[in-house]
Structure 1
Amino acid sequence: MGRGPAVVTVTDAAPARDDAAPDGAGPGGRSRRTVGAVLRAAPVPLALVAMIGLAGVVLGRVYAGNLLTALMWGAAVGSVAVSVAARRLPSWLVAPVSVVVMAGWTAWSLRLAARHAALPGGFGEVVADAARNGIPRLLTAMIPVEPAPDTVLVPLVAAWLAGLAGAEVALRAGRVLLGLLPPALLYGGALYVVGPNADPAVRPTVALAAVVALALAAPGGRSGPAGADPTAGLAPAVRVAVRARLAATAALGVAVVVGLTALLGPVLAARVDGRPVDPRRYVEPPRVESLDENPLIRISGWALNPDQKLLEVATETSGGPAGEQTRIRLAVLSDYDGVTWRVGATYRNAGRILPAAAPGPGQLDTVRQEITVADLTGRLLPAVATPREVSGARVAYDPATGTLIRPEGLSPGLRYEVDSVRERPDVDLLATADVPAGDEVARVLRVADGVPEPVRRLAGQLAEENGAPYARAEAIERFLAEHYRVVADAPSGHAYPNLSFFLFGPRDGGGQRGTSEQFAAAFAVLGRLAGLPTRVVVGFESRGDGPVRAADAYAWPEVLFSGVGWVPFDPLPRPDDEPRPVEEDFRPTPEDPPPSEVPEPTLEPTATPPAVAAPGGAAGERGVPVPLLVGGGAGGLLLLVGAVLGALAGMRRAQARARLERGDPGERIAGAWRQVTDALRLAGRPVGDDLAATEVAARARATLAEARAAHTAPAHAGAAGEPTGGEPTAGRSGTVGGAAAVGPPDGPDVDELAGLLNQVGFAPGTASGEQAARAAAVATAYVGALRDARPWWRRVLWSVRPGPLRWRR
């Protein structure tokens, strides 16, 4: 009886060893089992890596080069490999370990991207900037996107986190389908970021679907611990049956997915918009200030300081004659509203490589320049047209105009290199070339309302005498060069009244002379009136290597010809040519006499007043004596005008008292501020709602300084509109952007009033009566000082202007 159990035990154990033998008995069998487990577990990690890598392939289509794609593949492999290697660690420890490895990979990738983009500054500064601006710069970057630290940081971190989450859910928890969701979301995010900026990602999407199907069909793709065999422990026959059933189920599932895709895919695709949404439309691109939006107003200031060093330039040119002067472009101005020429650009952050436009039929020269900034200010970045690569400075670019800016602004000592492709138009095609028309060029053909009739007639005369577009452009160029004079001290301004005075004003009163600002603006306006698409370019003329000074700054017009491109013209007269009187070739009609005095720069278009018909018939036909009729009518008219003016003056005084004396302290401070802004508007310097109180205060100081300077200038210079000082002032610009060039004058402290207004706005109820009284005193003193700085007849009209009574608040 004692031996029975032992025999049974030995007999029962033998089949177990026999069962195990086919799977590999001994060390060799264990090795084969380990290899088999690894092979069964490999499809899911490989699928995760492939899905994340495919997301990098999709996103890399809008990047320059393959650096981003390679870095995302590296993040995919690294994140999944860390999870696989740490599968025996506690689950709470895997994420910290993976994040530490991610930090190392990201730091190495950012250093590689910074070196690839040739960014200036230390590595810590570059990383901090990338962390602050990664998302907005990714969505505002120019296509193709430069793989710089700020444009690769977000994709790299997202790829690593997707790999970490997917591997932990699929491998550790055994939820393969759920584990494939993070890489799938990453892929969808990549498609969304690319938007309509690349061709449809058909092949990567098909590859992604195939990878998902294989991951779900593979043995390691079923639920359960990673690498676990669901048939382990079963009898051989049962094991074979289960495996066959699982394979059939997987094959059926794949067939169903493929069939549904084939059947429903076209139907769903037909319901989707053909053009995906571009997420860049939700992010505001970099903006510029008024001086950068209209650098044309800086020409007169530079002309008065010709020795001011703005840039230092070293040039290498392949092609073109040796020693040729090079035009360095600062900005292209395409929009004109009758008052101001503006760039009107939409800037996108760009890397070193800029998008290349289709070359024209002319000769192409390659120009490489190393530029060092000296006294040039603003954000506009000078470069020879058309820039293709910029290194040494982070830039934003407008491909429509070819204008570059540095969002951080220029600073003395900034050094950068620009590789440009300069196009030389084929002059043999110009004589017969036409000009384009339609919506694509409507921007450079638009003529704002309010064109003075003499200007319109001059453009019509030049167009009638010259039929072909190029002949019209040459006629305008020749007319300006033969009849007008270039002077350095001409006042700034290119609104319609300024151009009318430049073209037809009396010579002895300051007319018919100007800087390149008036020549270029007049050419562009006359060209558009003659049916030519025109624009104005502001830049510098470089005479080889060396400094570029303020005397080298000038503006020139360009005309767009079909099949040729933009062609520059030079309407400036030769230095030794004596201009002919305008009246020799163009005579205004008697009802439109030429301007007799310089118009003040304005911020709003000036409409031409309608002509008043002379009364017909003789007054004495009814027997009333003519002197009595004239005297009575004049007296009645004077009484009526006096009554109206007195009423207006009384209403204005009542309005000022109500603002400064009624209400609580906060309301009185706000009323004092309205007095200041109304005074600026009366002085022709209105302020917009987009300006902060401190900016308005700076504008007010500048306006008062300009008015005082004009008031104290010699009478003959004031009448001719000629500046008298040697330094440029914003008052000559006629725009708000010039305010920054004028220092604070001695006078009322408008900054104190701005501070009180901010206090009322951000801390309501905290203002005291003393502060309100102080605000009223500052506003009254400022309005009085600004009024006293005006000419006597403007001081008379100041108090009876009805504008403040009707201006909206």
Structure 2
Amino acid sequence: MVTLAVRVLRVAVVPLALIALTALAGVVLGRVYAGDLLAWLVIGAAAGSVLVSVAARRLPSWLVAPVSVAAMAGWTLWSLRLAATRADLPGGLLEVTADAARNGIPRLLTAMIPVEPTPDTVLVPVVAAWLAGLAGAEVALRTGRVLLGYLPAAGLYTAALYAVGPNAEPAVGATLAFVAVAAVGLAAPSGRAPASGDPAAELAPRVRAAVRLRLATSAALGVALVVGLVALLGPVVADQVDGRPVDPRRYVEPPQVQTLDENPLIRISGWALHPEQRLLDVSTERPDAQAPGDAAPGTEPSTEGRPATDSVRIRLAVLSDYDGVTWRVGATYRNAGRILPATAPARDSTVETVQQKVTVAELTGRLLPAVATPREVSGARVAYDPATGTLIRPEGLTPGLRYMVTSARERPDNNLLATANVPAGDEVARVLRVADGVPDPMRRLAAQLAEENGAPFARASAIEQFLAEHYRVAADAPSGHAYPNLGFFLFGPRSGGGQEGTSEQFAAAFAVLGRLSGLPTRVVVGFRASGQGPVLAGDAYAWPEVLFDGLGWVSFDPLPRPNDEPRPVEEDFRPTPEDPPPSEAPAPTVEPTASPEPVAAPDGPPAPDGVSTPLLVAGGSGGLLLLVGALLLTLLAMRRSLTRARLGRDDPAQRIVGAWQEVTDALRLAGRPVGDDLAATEVADQARQALLDARIRRSGGRPGDPDAAASGDHREVPGGVALVPGGTGQTPGGAGAGAGAGGSVPGVDDLAALLNQVAFAPGSSTAAQADHAGTVATTYVEGLRAARPWWRRLLWSIHPGPLRRR
């Protein structure tokens, strides 16, 4: 029995080592996950893949991969169902699996830490662990090459360390365990014992001694080699111990808000004109509501001893960035699960729990309304920005969407406001920044209010009181909060529409005057709701907030009280004759001036336009290669089908738009994405420069070099298009006269003109124009692709990016 147990142990050492090595990758990755579900699922995948290979050792090698893939599919589906149940996600198994397959890697790399184990965040680790275990077991057990069989597990472990990056403590213990398990597997003797009558069993003692000596010599040489490598590479590795690991999230673009949501402040005026529009239905509960004798739990803090109203403020967006023209959200949203990361409340504030059940009616965009600060969300997949405590739904809001939010609303101690200070320094520089171009009367008004009130809260109260006493609310006031708009709101003639506005102007003016007075301010857009029932467009408004030490962000309300007649501004502030008040209302703000530039990580390449959607394939040996080949062919066919669909539509206008989409997709594939805020002619200019730079780079020049641009590139471009100074048509034969700095890409300007015709003169496009647009787009795409390196040309046709973008 003892001999049998020893033999079984010898046979099981390598499979157990493979299971342990693969499972350790899940343990390492699980450090950035909430709970231990991910680690157990990866351990199960590691054990299942290796045990299937052990059980199928007598089967032909070509049959093992399909059997293992079938088992992997079962384990993966069970894992997804378990994760969906734990996360309380709606939808059937097929819907959940399809969504996880489409968005697995992007959501994994943009999820908030700790990552909640949901189907889209566990799919990739589980499948990768199964494939690593399958490949390692087949190599180590079927061919006997144990060290080579460790490579898949080692690669998976390295990938897990890279994915964790600096978001967890160094995995010293797990790494030592990995090395120890690998050493045990390598040191294990072969499980095969010589059979009776085997010539090896009849070896003479001298022969066996020679074999032992040879093995000992080889082992000594191996140890010496390892020691030498350690001595050589040890100092290099030691220098990196204190280095901060690279975070792969820096290369992935997190979920973004739409242009409509980047500055929701401009929507206040539109909502004010249609106050009966039903945006939401809200039902709130306060599990820890105060006793009847205490202050009403649904009230907002009063900053001047005024009676608070029995209402609930529902936040839509927090705007912290102002460039003198528009206020912007400027938040960084990360995919999150049900449980959102908790932040420590302000030192001198109390926390009240508020539960909200929300049903979306006619509210559009991606911003998800919730009472500050959300701690748990169910019923909708969300992305969260901890800095502002706001939510978005990356897929966008849809009528009938229902979700529930549990928020921890902070209520500062109003008795401490009078003596509270405000923070300063780099940490709050963002909410203290004042853009250039402030009108002089606005600066003098802020200086006057600050001079008369020294303490921060006194300054904030003075600004609040000045706005509430001298201005009135007008629902039909035009939208706008740029410096000229605020100047007209503050100092324009009352008879000409000045000194009146919506909450947009009141909140924006307070925030700017506060920053000019040294107060860290921001603007919040949301709704004032009763807590039960519908939320209408007339309930939307904006309010300012000021940051105080120990108290956090405190809300102020500069709107005038109902039925209060405003006093003339000239009674308390009069512009100088050298700077008379504006007499005409400036143009309203209709949309953000430009999309904010993403902050690039230091010493790293720029963030890519997006992450290609992973289509996970499985299999081992030859089966895996066949599946990869099938995937590439499928992507190629889908890309060509997309192009044919765009350029082969019946409607000429749609074909022109499809041709334009082909050009913009080509620019994205070339690493030159175009912004949504650019006009068609500006995109044509960018397309011209992109092709010029690509051709200069291909000829060995440097993009932007005037000499290189002047010399041009006289090589032929596929399709007969060349860079021709001022040209607008094709050059026969494809040989151009050269491209100067002012040369144009033939046809792209014509395509931009056709696109403008489609936009501004619907129904006027002809079939001939659509054919010309398709020819121009095809020729330009081929020319831009031809200027890329050979390996980028190969990836061009199978890149899934155009399939993801709408």
TM-score w.r.t. structure 1 length? 0.70
SS at match of 1:215: helix
Measure how far apart 1:250 and its partner are: 6.1
C-alpha distance after superposition, 1:662-688 (max 9, x if no partner): xxxxxxx99xx9xxxxxxxxxxxxx97
Alignment of 1:25-36 (within 5 A): 33-36=3-6
Measure how far apart 1:572 and its partner are: 0.8
* Contact kept in structure 2, 1:693 and 1:754, CA below 8 Å: no
Measure how far apart 1:322 and its partner are: 4.7
Picking from 458, 463, 477, the partner of 1:471 is 458
d(CA) in 1 for partners of 2:42, 2:362:
43
* Contact kept in structure 1, 2:266 and 2:590, CA below 8 Å: no
d(CA) in 2 for partners of 1:553, 1:323:
17
C-alpha distance after superposition, 1:235-274 (max 9, x if no partner): 6967996679868976996797589658854541314661
Matched with 2:248 is: 279
C-alpha distance after superposition, 1:64-93 (max 9, x if no partner): 111111100000110111111111212221
Matched with 2:264 is: 295
**2:390 maps to 1:421:** no
In structure 2, stretches of 5+ residues that fail to align are: 291-295, 300-310, 594-655, 661-673, 684-755, 780-806
Q: Name the CA shift for 1:543/1:688 in 2 (closer, same or farther; >3 Å).
A: same
* Contact kept in structure 1, 2:471 and 2:499, CA below 8 Å: yes
C-alpha distance after superposition, 1:669-712 (max 9, x if no partner): 99xx9xxxxxxxxxxxxx9765576999xxxxxxxxxxxxxxxx
Alignment of 1:571-586 (within 5 A): 571-586=558-573
Matched with 2:726 is: none
Q: Does 236-245 or 539-548 show the bigger shift?
A: 236-245
d(CA) in 2 for partners of 1:400, 1:111:
33
Amino acid at match of 1:360: A
Alignment of 1:125-524 (within 5 A): 125-220=95-190, 227=192, 233-234=201-202, 257=226, 264-265=233-234, 267-271=236-240, 274-317=243-286, 318-320=288-290, 321-322=296-297, 324=299, 325-361=311-347, 362-524=349-511
* Contact kept in structure 1, 2:263 and 2:592, CA below 8 Å: no
Q: Name the CA shift for 1:165/1:412 in 2 (closer, same or farther; >3 Å).
A: same
Measure how far apart 1:430 and its partner are: 2.1
C-alpha distance after superposition, 1:518-576 (max 9, x if no partner): 10000000011111111000011221221111121110001111222111111111112
SS at match of 1:233: helix
* Contact kept in structure 2, 1:340 and 1:495, CA below 8 Å: yes
d(CA) in 2 for partners of 1:194, 1:364:
33
d(CA) in 2 for partners of 1:160, 1:595:
70
* Contact kept in structure 2, 1:368 and 1:417, CA below 8 Å: yes
C-alpha distance after superposition, 1:565-624 (max 9, x if no partner): 111111111112221111111111111111112111257999xxxxxxxxxxxxxxxxxx
Amino acid at match of 1:479: F
C-alpha distance after superposition, 1:478-517 (max 9, x if no partner): 1111111112111111111111111111111111111111
d(CA) in 2 for partners of 1:482, 1:754:
60
SS at match of 1:204: helix
d(CA) in 2 for partners of 1:758, 1:289:
30
Picking from 516, 535, 548, the partner of 2:522 is 535
d(CA) in 2 for partners of 1:50, 1:294:
51
* Contact kept in structure 2, 1:193 and 1:278, CA below 8 Å: yes
CA RMSD of aligned residues (A): 3.3
SS at match of 1:180: helix
* Contact kept in structure 2, 1:444 and 1:533, CA below 8 Å: yes
Amino acid at match of 1:538: V
Measure how far apart 1:234 and its partner are: 4.9
Amino acid at match of 1:311: L
SS at match of 1:328: strand
* Contact kept in structure 2, 1:390 and 1:417, CA below 8 Å: yes
d(CA) in 2 for partners of 1:112, 1:750:
51
SS at match of 1:418: strand
Alignment of 1:583-732 (within 5 A): 583-601=570-588, 690-691=677-678
**2:85 maps to 1:99:** no
Q: Name the CA shift for 1:66/1:688 in 2 (closer, same or farther; >3 Å).
A: closer
Q: Name the CA shift for 1:473/1:258 in 2 (closer, same or farther; >3 Å).
A: farther
Q: Name the CA shift for 1:201/1:605 in 2 (closer, same or farther; >3 Å).
A: closer
d(CA) in 2 for partners of 1:491, 1:756:
44
Matched with 1:41 is: 11
SS at match of 1:574: coil
| Structure with larger Rg | 1
Amino acid at match of 1:297: I
C-alpha distance after superposition, 1:702-726 (max 9, x if no partner): xxxxxxxxxxxxxxxxxxxxxxxxx
Amino acid at match of 1:333: L
Amino acid at match of 2:761: D
Q: Name the CA shift for 1:565/1:307 in 2 (closer, same or farther; >3 Å).
A: same
**2:750 maps to 1:763:** no
C-alpha distance after superposition, 1:718-752 (max 9, x if no partner): xxxxxxxxxxxxxxxxxxxxxxxxxx9x9962575
Bigger fraction of residues in helix: 1
SS at match of 1:112: helix
d(CA) in 2 for partners of 1:208, 1:149:
27
* Contact kept in structure 2, 1:64 and 1:145, CA below 8 Å: yes
C-alpha distance after superposition, 1:400-435 (max 9, x if no partner): 222211111101110011111111122233222222
Matched with 1:70 is: 40
C-alpha distance after superposition, 1:207-260 (max 9, x if no partner): 11111111112224xxxxx54569962569679966798689769967975896
Measure how far apart 1:474 and its partner are: 0.9
d(CA) in 2 for partners of 1:397, 1:129:
20
Alignment of 1:50-65 (within 5 A): 50-65=20-35
* Contact kept in structure 2, 1:339 and 1:603, CA below 8 Å: no
SS at match of 1:488: coil
d(CA) in 2 for partners of 1:306, 1:484:
21
d(CA) in 2 for partners of 1:332, 1:765:
41
* Contact kept in structure 2, 1:694 and 1:754, CA below 8 Å: no
Q: Name the CA shift for 1:227/1:489 in 2 (closer, same or farther; >3 Å).
A: farther
Matched with 1:569 is: 556
C-alpha distance after superposition, 1:26-48 (max 9, x if no partner): xxxxx655433221122211111
* Contact kept in structure 2, 1:368 and 1:418, CA below 8 Å: yes
* Contact kept in structure 1, 2:262 and 2:592, CA below 8 Å: no
d(CA) in 2 for partners of 1:602, 1:754:
36
Amino acid at match of 2:400: G
d(CA) in 1 for partners of 2:239, 2:401:
53
Q: Name the CA shift for 1:270/1:756 in 2 (closer, same or farther; >3 Å).
A: farther
Q: Name the CA shift for 1:229/1:268 in 2 (closer, same or farther; >3 Å).
A: farther
* Contact kept in structure 2, 1:300 and 1:515, CA below 8 Å: yes
SS at match of 1:556: strand
SS at match of 1:378: coil
- Taking only the aligned residue pairs, the percentage that are identical comes to 75
d(CA) in 2 for partners of 1:87, 1:131:
31
Amino acid at match of 2:52: V
SS at match of 1:153: helix
Amino acid at match of 2:775: A
d(CA) in 2 for partners of 1:97, 1:553:
59
* Contact kept in structure 1, 2:480 and 2:590, CA below 8 Å: no
d(CA) in 1 for partners of 2:212, 2:679:
74
d(CA) in 2 for partners of 1:39, 1:548:
69
Matched with 1:551 is: 538
Matched with 2:746 is: none
Q: Name the CA shift for 1:37/1:244 in 2 (closer, same or farther; >3 Å).
A: farther
